[in-house]
Structure 1
Amino acid sequence: MKHSNTKNNVLILGSSGLLGSALVNTAPRNTRLFLAYRKNKLRQKKYPSLRIDLGNIVTLKKTMKIVKPALVIHASRIEPYENNPKQAKKLIASLIQSMKPYRAKIVYISTEAVFDGKRGNYSENDMPQPITLYGRAKHEAEKVIQKQTGNYMIIRTSYIYGKKRNGLDERTKKLFDEIKKNGVAFRFQDIYRSPINAQDLAQAIWKLVRVDFQGIIHIANKRQSIFQFSKMLVQRAGYKKGYVKPNLLKNSLLRIPRDTSLNTALAKKIIQFVSKE
């Protein structure tokens, strides 16, 4: 953050997504936001919007020259490369390269999927061992960031849910659609995550930015089974009990991490983060 006239310039990648729009809504007043999007532009007039393609280094550098960011928050999906670790690695490397002339800090939103899910309650000191392509892609991106820049914050989180301008998050919408179509939805009671509302996550991110945290940190809520979490969603929406039924991963052929719940003790220490149910 060496450029005094641009020290408050923040570029948000994925600004029209669930977390991206929450970051826009909760941004500190003195922040000069620039909103980047790949397909869908966030409908607003307050901040400049820029179409960006992480796979095109030429346009990426042009965007950085316009913004001159002090901070880049990578809250976007990396479609169609989310399940392609090799390509994800290249995209993040290009992004880091384009940021270097401005000495910008990167805030990278990662995932609990970097862990194998054998025991849960993972802390920042636990060794990532992803078993899915998505988890491997995220882990490769993490490694590139740590290798190519010393000015970074990697935030690992869990299921992100909540409302956005055009409706509910995809996971919640799918749940409600199943109930409307079939009268019931089955969810695993032996898979555990640490779901967090997008607004809560966004507020925690801005707090970490304010204290200039460096390194890896976990931000998520308390451990819940997917079944418990889904029941909570439908009850809050006004559905009666019984619309969500339990299922068991051990009875399926799916290869999914069983328990990737996150330990947030470090976040509690740094920003007094409190995990919610």
Structure 2
Amino acid sequence: MKVVITGAEGQLGHHLKKALCKKCKVYAFSRKGLDICNFKQAEDMVNDIKPDVIIHAAAVTNIQNAELNPEHTILVNSRSTQNLADISRKYNSKFVFISSAYVFDGKKAYYTEKDIPNPINMYGKSKLWGERMVRDYQPNHFIIRSSWIYGEKFIRYMFDKIMNQDKFCFDEMQIGSPTNVLEFSDFIFQVMQTDAYGTYHVTNQGDCSKYEYFNTIYNEFTNKPIQHEIRRNASMIIPTNCTLDNMEARSRGFHNLLPWKDSLIRFIREMDLGR
């Protein structure tokens, strides 16, 4: 199976490449290697490789940057998605689009795939528009929404902040489901081998506040509660609740991801950064 991955320099793209290269012929493209906003360049790439699957993981993900640069955010998150979805249909490649819990407004808990999206920031809007492009242009698609995906880069970033005793700045009241990038990547591998097309919510089981999430990481390295300043960042418009119900994955027989805390602790300890 030949698989193209966009956004190879990002956290998810990096781990997808590592996970899938053991099972598939992987062609992973960073921003420098492929301009996803250039239709001809993208089509030439697909025509040369003729992949079985395209996983579109490239995106503008910084919430503040998305608000400050809406045109660029729409170009990358929406229009490039339209291009790749259209090209994948033309060349008979399955299409996997990575979306987000931020397509919802955060006013309730555990959104299902049947809930109506209502994004409250530019990042969420651009992702929702991307989803619509996928549905319009490519019937053989998997739209996969998730929440708080973490990998080695994020854990190392947190480790460095803890060791340097830097102050943390986050909304301690935000609720979500920390999601292990390795388990998330495994789900993508499972689903892309099927014809069970549609929209999926994929997160680790359970939920927590941002405070509990960061405190769990902190405690793995220091064995004491987080002590640094915690304050609300009023400059970002973010949903209060980012929890998703993996209803569609369960109903189609895909295995559940582990409880978030067990998975997070195991991931950290396997990195062996020191305690």
Do Structure 1 and Structure 2 share a fold, with TM-score over 0.5?
yes
Name the counterpart of 2:168.
Answer: 185
Check if 1:139 corresponds to 2:128: yes
Check if 1:204 corresponds to 2:187: yes
Shift of residue 244, structure 1, vs aligned partner = 4.5
Q: Alignment length, in residue pairs?
A: 251
Shift of residue 217, structure 1, vs aligned partner = 0.4
Shift of residue 242, structure 1, vs aligned partner = 2.9
SS at match of 1:188: coil
Shift of residue 122, structure 1, vs aligned partner = 0.5
Unaligned residue ranges in structure 1 (runs of 5+): 1-7, 40-50
Name the counterpart of 1:230.
Answer: 214
Unaligned residue ranges in structure 2 (runs of 5+): 261-275
Q: 1:157, 1:219 within 8 Å by CA — same for their partners in 2?
A: yes
Q: Which moved more, 1:216-225 or 1:77-86?
A: 77-86
SS at match of 2:5: strand
Cα root mean square deviation, aligned = 2.5
Q: 1:268, 1:274 within 8 Å by CA — same for their partners in 2?
A: no
Name the counterpart of 1:258.
Answer: 240
Shift of residue 213, structure 1, vs aligned partner = 2.3
1:188 and 1:271 map into 2 onto residues whose CA distance is 33
1:178 to 1:34, Cα distance in 2 relative to 1, 3 A: closer
Shift of residue 160, structure 1, vs aligned partner = 1.1
Check if 1:118 corresponds to 2:100: no
5 Å-filtered alignment, 1:29-48, equals 29-39=22-32
The two structures have a TM-score, normalised by structure 2, of 0.82
Name the counterpart of 1:19.
Answer: 12
The percent identity for this pair of structures is 25
SS at match of 1:108: strand
1:183 and 1:15 map into 2 onto residues whose CA distance is 29
Shift of residue 52, structure 1, vs aligned partner = 0.7
Shift of residue 186, structure 1, vs aligned partner = 4.8
Shift of residue 228, structure 1, vs aligned partner = 0.5
Return the letter of the residue paired with 2:197. Answer: Q
Name the counterpart of 2:43.
Answer: 61
1:22 to 1:107, Cα distance in 2 relative to 1, 3 A: same
Name the counterpart of 2:80.
Answer: 91
User: Greater strand percent: which structure?
Assistant: 1
